[in-house]
Structure 1
């Protein structure tokens, strides 16, 4: 689809770009620390099959934690709600995304929700497939189905950079295996999780995916159902309550749009019955969210009355 430029969106982008100086890239992942933190781009895929774009939206980056939403959708389609939510909860947490504290304070050691790292590891362990390659292949196929892009791949360098520095995630996974929440081989699970996070996308891809969630799992172009409506609603609800790490409550009040961020600087937003938004701005705030991306979404929500509450 041809995407139009917009003078108004260019103005928003220039305003938001000023705050990139206040953020920092994700230095703790070696392969991400050399990205230009002043980069900022956005695509809007409207519910009426209109697309608007500003900045370098052809630039590819990795999904990182946005992949948690897609893995959750796939696991729910594989097993159903009862199985998935017997192993991971539905409650928000005020703790950082990589915290182990709540696991130690609950009797079952069940992670509070699928959007924190502990919960995401559990969800990823539920994806069906005969080994690592089949499972990552299913995730790539799912992203391909939602974006209609000709080829989907992951960034090997980013995946391995994360795998070799995944000391805290490794600790979380072994803790969960000790309590029988995870049954998989931990090293293979971590490798799968890192490949999942390293799947490459563009802003347009994120906007397309966001639009499918906005339309209850239906592809706006083909009309084909990609995922069941009830699963799309579950994912959007988690995006509202847990999608922006431990800044989700403030984001819900100020922006009021279901969204999920990743430490690559990506944000995917899904406005019910309106469309999807994809943003890339690698300068992060102290919570791990794109600092300019949040400013952009605040402006969009206010100017176009997108707040869902």
Structure 2
């Protein structure tokens, strides 16, 4: 069933769009510079398969840090909770998402949580498979199941652009390798990680994934369980506590739903037992979150009483 344009959503998008002027498109990954700063779109996907939208929801975006939720779900399914959290912690951080500081100062040199870059790299390291190709193939298959879209792939241009410029992420990998958090070749892991971040989809796909998490791992139309309930619960908890980088506390107060952002301008939201949300707004604030996307979610939270607290 195609998404239906919503007059109410269109009004909220127009209000939120004004904030795009205060943000800027990510430029540290060269391929992301091409995005239109003034773009803003949203899809909301309900358990009965109906969808409402505003803006160009067919615009493809790369997942970037939104992929961290999905690799965490796959690693938890592959390895179990105990094994994953031997290598990665549970705690939020007030530092930027690409900081190395906590790795150096923690007595046990492991990342604080799976939503910062160091933690995400450690989680990607745990995805099972005999080769980089097999591991990436398993992740793609998993994401295609979550979205119900067999056509999802990745942007080779963005993956190459990230691979060639990810010097800080390599530093995080070498530090973790020194301390036994990871034990594979860094360049192979970077190849997998940059392809993971470059997986492409549109707002409707994001909203469909959000709905699966909102429904504790079940795709409601087919009633098929795609994730163990405990995996969906853990992922949603991290989305609340760490999903908006070091702005997660303010987001929990102002919006109050599990959500994860990426520096491409995407946001995936999961409103428990109600619906999934997919947003794209390329202009970012200083923390790396879609500036208009956050404002739009704040308006939605007030309009539809979304705050779970």
TM-score normalized by the length of structure 1: 0.99
* Gapped regions of structure 1 (runs ≥ 5): none
The aligned counterpart of 1:305 is 305
After TM superposition, give the deviation of residue 34 of structure 1 in Å: 1.5
User: Which segment is superposed worse, 296-305 or 48-57?
Assistant: 48-57
The aligned counterpart of 1:3 is 3
* Aligned residue-pair number: 309
After TM superposition, give the deviation of residue 180 of structure 1 in Å: 0.7
Tell me whether 1:291 sits opposite 2:270 in the alignment.
no
Aligned mates of 1:142, 1:39 — CA distance in 2: 29
After TM superposition, give the deviation of residue 152 of structure 1 in Å: 1.6
After TM superposition, give the deviation of residue 127 of structure 1 in Å: 0.1
The aligned counterpart of 2:142 is 142
Q: Is residue 103–residue 109 contact of structure 2 (8 Å, CA) maintained in 1?
A: yes
Aligned mates of 1:47, 1:241 — CA distance in 2: 25
After TM superposition, give the deviation of residue 115 of structure 1 in Å: 0.1
Tell me whether 1:225 sits opposite 2:225 in the alignment.
yes
The aligned counterpart of 1:242 is 242
The aligned counterpart of 1:184 is 184
The aligned counterpart of 1:55 is 55
Aligned mates of 1:185, 1:44 — CA distance in 2: 40
Aligned mates of 2:299, 2:50 — CA distance in 1: 20
Aligned mates of 2:24, 2:187 — CA distance in 1: 30
After TM superposition, give the deviation of residue 277 of structure 1 in Å: 0.2
**1:56-77 Cα shifts (integer Å, max 9, x gaps):** 0011010000000000000000
The aligned counterpart of 2:21 is 21
Aligned mates of 1:305, 1:267 — CA distance in 2: 19
2:187 is paired with a residue whose SS is helix
**1:191-223 Cα shifts (integer Å, max 9, x gaps):** 100000000010000000000000000002211
After TM superposition, give the deviation of residue 47 of structure 1 in Å: 2.8
Aligned mates of 1:162, 1:3 — CA distance in 2: 32
CA RMSD of aligned residues (A): 0.6
1:283 is paired with a residue whose SS is coil
The aligned counterpart of 1:93 is 93
The aligned counterpart of 2:123 is 123
The aligned counterpart of 1:30 is 30
1:33 is paired with a residue whose SS is helix
TM-score normalized by the length of structure 2: 0.99
Aligned mates of 2:10, 2:248 — CA distance in 1: 26
Aligned mates of 1:279, 1:96 — CA distance in 2: 22
* Gapped regions of structure 2 (runs ≥ 5): none
Q: How does 1:163-174 map to 2 (within 5 A)?
A: 163-174=163-174
Tell me whether 1:156 sits opposite 2:156 in the alignment.
yes
1:9 is paired with a residue whose SS is helix
The aligned counterpart of 1:79 is 79
Tell me whether 1:42 sits opposite 2:51 in the alignment.
no
After TM superposition, give the deviation of residue 48 of structure 1 in Å: 3.2
After TM superposition, give the deviation of residue 49 of structure 1 in Å: 2.4
Aligned mates of 1:50, 1:237 — CA distance in 2: 26
User: Which segment is superposed worse, 242-251 or 1-10?
Assistant: 1-10
